[in-house]
Amino acid sequence: MTHTEPDARFPFPVTTVPTRCRRRPALFDLSFGDLGGDTKKTAQHRLEQARQACSSCPVVTECLRWALVNKPLTREGVFAGTTPGQRNALRRRLADRLGPEWIDVLAARDQARRERAETAHNTPLSVPQARVVRLDRELNGPMHLPPPLTAEEQRLNRNRLTAGLKAA
Ligand code: SF4
C-alpha cells in the first residue's frame, strides 16, 4: 500500500442514502491549519454544520473508522464530525489500548468476525437446535420483529457507538 491509497482492508462504507458530504463537499472541506479566506467564526460555523450533518448520517461509525485508519488521506477536513486534531487524539488512544500496530489489530479482528459470521452462516443447525427452534415456533408462533428504529433512535444509537469508539 502506498501512502496515498486507502487501506483496502477497510472499505469506505456505502449507503443508498446520499450522504451530506457527497451532496455538499465544500462544507466538509475545512482546512484547519490554514483557514484561507475563512474567518475563524465562519469556519467554526461550517464545522458545526458539518457536525450536524454527520450526526444523522447512517454510516457515521464506519466513516470514523475509515478516517482513523487512513490518516494520510484524512489530514484535513471533517469526517464523521471530527476534526483532524480530534482524529489524532482518537488514534493515540487506540494505539495506547491496542499497541502501535493498532490498525493491523483492527483488521485482524474484522477478518476474524467475518470468518465467524461465514462459519455461522454455513453451519446447519444441529438436531437439538432445530427441535428447539421448531418448538419455539409452535408455542410462540412466528417471530414478530420490532418496528424499525425512528430517525431519532438511530441518531442516539450512532452517538452511543461513536462515544464507545472514542472510549476504546
Ligand atoms: S459521517 Fe462521514 S460519510 Fe457521513 S456525512 Fe459525515 S463525513 Fe460524510
Question: What number does the ligand 1 atom closest to the CA of 58 have?
Answer: 4
User: Residue 13 falls within a domain, yes or no?
Assistant: no
Q: Does any ligand 1 atom lie closer than 6 A to the CB of residue 21?
A: yes
In tens, the pLDDT along 78-87 reads 999 999 999 9
Mean pLDDT of 88-93: 96
pTM, full prediction: 0.70
User: Residue 12 falls within a domain, yes or no?
Assistant: no
Rounded to 5°, the CA angle 5-163-45 comes to: 75
Could you tell which of 12, 14, 60, 68 is best to mutate to test the pocket of ligand 1, judged by most ligand atoms within 8 Å of the CB?
Answer: 60
User: Residue 149 falls within a domain, yes or no?
Assistant: no
User: Residue 163 falls within a domain, yes or no?
Assistant: yes
Residue numbers of the domain that contains 113: 20-144+155-167
User: Residue 109 falls within a domain, yes or no?
Assistant: yes
User: Residue 47 falls within a domain, yes or no?
Assistant: yes
